[in-house]
Structure 1
Amino acid sequence: MKTICLYFQVHQPFRFRRYRFFDIGNDHYYFDDYSNESIMNKVANDCYIPTNDLLLKMLKKHKGKFKVTFSISGLAIEQFKLYAPEVIDSFKKLSETGMVEFLNETYSHSLVSLTDEEAFKSQVDAHANLMVELFGSKPAIFRNTELIYSDHIGEMVSKMGYKAMLTEGAKHILGWKSPNFLYCNAANPRLKILLKNFKLSDDIAFRFGNRNWCEWPLTASKYISWIKDMEPREEIINLFMDYETFGEHQHRSTGIFQFLENLPSEAFKHKGIGFATPSEIIESHQVVAPVSVPHPISWADEERDLTAWLGNEMQQEAFKKLYALLPKIQQCTDPKILKDWNYLQCSDHFYYMCTKFFSDGDVHAYFNPYETPYEAFINYMNVLSDFSIRLNASVPESNMDQEISNLTDILYKKDETIKKLEDEIKKLRKRRTSAKKTLTVKSKT
């Protein structure tokens, strides 16, 4: 029996506006609302709504035999609430079928698992609470940002009570082994590991619409035949990809929606092929071996490592400066600052600074608001500088900081008082002018 696990990541970042050096200390609003709204509406119309509608139709048609899995970042859900609430409604309809599993991840789609366990747990818990709020249950399976995983990260996730975790079936980790089995964490065997089959996943996510590809056009029948002809002992085929594959990365004109719709029908023509969620897989399959991952891996780029986010000095400097603020953030209670902190951590900001423009260049250009990685770095650091000023004022470190904070409050209150007085003066002048006109009219009369 071969089991297909079809999993989709749903995420959109809050993109920053052009934030200049002279804005630092003067303007505390960082976001490009126009871009965020227009991109969300575009992706919702091209991908989220039509694909959710199609999946709902497929789930009803196949009556419990077809299953799908999602993880949706907290930032994506915040944007749905702001710009496309109908997307949340469509995900709730999928959830109500009982054939869809929602996974947990970091709320901010961040790299925090690489730097601080307490902050990592806090984000994971925040996302779990959001999943309970939207879909009524806490996820049992975890998926880290961009499938980032190591033995240490797996240990942290296991301590939080999760049963399994998803990651990349990277060649340099597996060697001769196949990703098409169930593995476990090398340090804590209780945590099961599902490994992405990157060849079959990327055939859909990246190669599907490429007319120069030797397998083009890819039909559901051909694709299922590849799975059927695999080594008989191989049990699990994990197809992990961005949800934007459908209608966005692969345009409707490529036939991607017809491919998806036909996939379960073609699979069910063969008795030995079915679909399952990660929770079902870990209950029905046995672990074959531990998988050792001493250094973090991801599903990004050809290297399947962290170089997409931390591969150059700019990215490392931005990452270091950001998380140097953690001690103060943990003392901060200002909701506006904490909200901006969530948005600042999003991994996309570091991805835009990547200087790897070779075979992976097209991927890094997807909805990238910057012309160069250097521009992305400067913009981010300008935002971070202003954010640091606000945080220092909110959580003073020393007597000097406290004095500065107090003076800032005094100046702010003074400005507010001046504005109120100016408004009062304007009202009095208007009344005076009106009274003069009335008196003039009366005297003439």
Structure 2
Amino acid sequence: MRTICFYFQVHQPYRLKPYRFFDIGEDHDYYDSFGNKNIMRKVAEKCYLPMNALLLELIEQHQGKFKVCFSISGTALDQFEQYAPDVLESFQKLVETGHVELLNETYTHALCALKSKEEFHDMVKKHQKRIKELFDGYTPTVFRNTELIYSDTIGEMVAELGYKAILTEGAKHILGWKSPNYVYVNAIEPKLKVLLKNFRLSDDIAFRFSERSWADWPLTTEKFVDWINQIPPEEEVINLFMDYETFGEHQWAESGIFDFMRHLPEAVMKYSNYTFSTPSEVAENIPPVGKIHVPTPISWADEERDLTAWLGNDLQDEAFDRLYELEELVNASDDPDIHRDWKYLQTSDHFYYMCTKFFADGDIHTYFSPYENPYEAFINYMNVLSDFMLRLKNVKVESKS
């Protein structure tokens, strides 16, 4: 069995509004509702709605032989309900076909796996409950952590929650001479299968598709199928993992990205011996070749494939540490607004905006950030966090009285 596994990440954060020092203690509404709604509707029209319609057409055309999977963050699901119910309905129709798998993740696309096992478990269970509510009782069996962040110990935590597989990056410094085109198992808990992204083929679609300076531009379905046919026959699975916003948002419709996807399934089925599978099918049908050792966390971000997109500089570490110092106080509160904001403030994007990298990776960070610079992002976040801390202290005082 040789198969292709398509995984798409769907995520939108609750972006913070400009929050000044003088707002602290006065304004407890932190979110840029106007901006979040506008961005959601823009991405819905450019990506979610046309691409979901295309996938539904392909699944029906190929009678279920074409399959994909999604991981949809809780913050994206919440905004679908608020601003784009038509998008939520289109995802529901895809899942109803029985040929689209949903994955579990942390509810707010958070980095809690790096800081708090208790909060991580709570986030995962909250996301699982949300999926079940919105998708007719659906229960995911495969996990993907925020930004594919993974280590041996994170895998162990995921295995404890009962998942049979996890997705992560096929990072070169972890694989060495090994290929990402096999199934591996967690080094601590071998019952957890580990599926690794083939970053070269994935990034050919996600990042290089419209890059005219790329030696292989333009990317055609014939060229792509020729590449996968050159992969040694004993390598059984090609994991193509990417942001869903690749289609229509990062790679505009004018680039031909929709046409590429429209013709890819037929080209694969006609001119190769590959099928399409969901992650749970890969985990079920392809035997693992051995353990994959990941002692320190990896991710799918930037050239280093590490955590430096979100953590590591003084701004990020200060904000991250101050946030999680509040965990005990939050858990002592029964205020639903406190718990909602605590979850939303953990979203990894807030720390991503504080990244001070330069050159190519820095350009990517600038593209996604609503701030002029990382320092503005840090100040805005810390102003919000200061107000949140005041609210926590007031809740504690009120509970004592």
Partner of 2:76: 76
Whichever residue aligns with residue 207 of structure 1, its letter is R
Secondary structure, aligned partner of 1:195 = strand
Q: CA deviation at 1:394?
A: 1.0
Partner of 1:277: 278
Partner of 1:415: none
How do residues 88-167 of structure 1 correspond to structure 2 at under 5 angstroms?
Answer: 88-135=88-135, 136-167=137-168
Q: Is the 8 A contact 2:71 2:104 kept in 1?
A: yes
Query: 2:153 and 2:272 mapped to 1: Cα distance?
Result: 39
Whichever residue aligns with residue 85 of structure 2, its letter is P
Q: CA RMSD in A?
A: 1.1
Q: CA deviation at 1:270?
A: 3.0
Whichever residue aligns with residue 282 of structure 1, its letter is A
Secondary structure, aligned partner of 1:281 = helix
Q: CA deviation at 1:271?
A: 4.9
How do residues 373-412 of structure 1 correspond to structure 2 at under 5 angstroms?
Answer: 373-396=374-397
Whichever residue aligns with residue 60 of structure 1, its letter is E
Gaps of 5+ in 1: 407-445
The total of aligned residue pairs comes to 400
Partner of 1:251: 252
Query: 1:91 and 1:395 mapped to 2: Cα distance?
Result: 41
**CA deviation digits over 1:126-170, x for unaligned, max 9?**
000111112222100000000000000000000000000000000
Whichever residue aligns with residue 57 of structure 2, its letter is K
Secondary structure, aligned partner of 1:183 = strand
How do residues 225-244 of structure 1 correspond to structure 2 at under 5 angstroms?
Answer: 225-244=226-245
Partner of 2:303: 302
How do residues 343-354 of structure 1 correspond to structure 2 at under 5 angstroms?
Answer: 343-354=344-355
Query: 1:193 and 1:230 mapped to 2: Cα distance?
Result: 20
How do residues 187-198 of structure 1 correspond to structure 2 at under 5 angstroms?
Answer: 187-198=188-199
Indicate the structure (1 or 2) with the bigger Cα radius of gyration: 1
**CA deviation digits over 1:363-395, x for unaligned, max 9?**
212341100000000000000000000011112
Query: 2:21 and 2:346 mapped to 1: Cα distance?
Result: 20
**CA deviation digits over 1:247-288, x for unaligned, max 9?**
000000000000011110100113511100011111111100
> Equivalent pairs: percent with the same residue?
62
Q: CA deviation at 1:206?
A: 0.4
Q: 1:106 to 1:402 in 2, by over 3 A?
A: closer
Query: 2:19 and 2:280 mapped to 1: Cα distance?
Result: 44
Partner of 1:291: 292
TM-score, length-normalised on structure 2?
A: 0.98
Structure 1 outlier segments of 4+, above 3 Å = none
Partner of 1:340: 341
Q: CA deviation at 1:208?
A: 0.2
How do residues 4-23 of structure 1 correspond to structure 2 at under 5 angstroms?
Answer: 4-23=4-23
Partner of 1:54: 54
Partner of 1:438: none
**CA deviation digits over 1:57-89, x for unaligned, max 9?**
000000021000000000001111111010010
Q: Is the 8 A contact 2:229 2:272 kept in 1?
A: no
Q: CA deviation at 1:221?
A: 1.3
Q: CA deviation at 1:233?
A: 1.0
Whichever residue aligns with residue 197 of structure 2, its letter is K
Q: Which has the higher contact order (CA 8 A, sep 6+)?
A: 2
Partner of 2:362: 361
Q: CA deviation at 1:402?
A: 6.7
11-20 or 361-370, larger mean C-alpha shift:
361-370
Whichever residue aligns with residue 117 of structure 2, its letter is E
Q: 1:118 to 1:54 in 2, by over 3 A?
A: same
Partner of 1:435: none
Query: 1:202 and 1:76 mapped to 2: Cα distance?
Result: 23
Q: Is the 8 A contact 2:225 2:271 kept in 1?
A: no
Q: 1:183 to 1:132 in 2, by over 3 A?
A: same
TM-score, length-normalised on structure 1?
A: 0.89
Quick check: 1:172 aligned with 2:173?
yes
Secondary structure, aligned partner of 1:336 = helix
Whichever residue aligns with residue 142 of structure 1, its letter is F
Query: 2:138 and 2:370 mapped to 1: Cα distance?
Result: 36
Query: 2:333 and 2:399 mapped to 1: Cα distance?
Result: 14
Secondary structure, aligned partner of 1:142 = strand
Partner of 2:42: 42
Gaps of 5+ in 2: none
Q: CA deviation at 1:193?
A: 0.1
Partner of 1:429: none
Query: 2:399 and 2:38 mapped to 1: Cα distance?
Result: 42
Whichever residue aligns with residue 63 of structure 2, its letter is K
Secondary structure, aligned partner of 1:249 = coil
Query: 1:234 and 1:51 mapped to 2: Cα distance?
Result: 29
**CA deviation digits over 1:25-45, x for unaligned, max 9?**
111111111110110000000
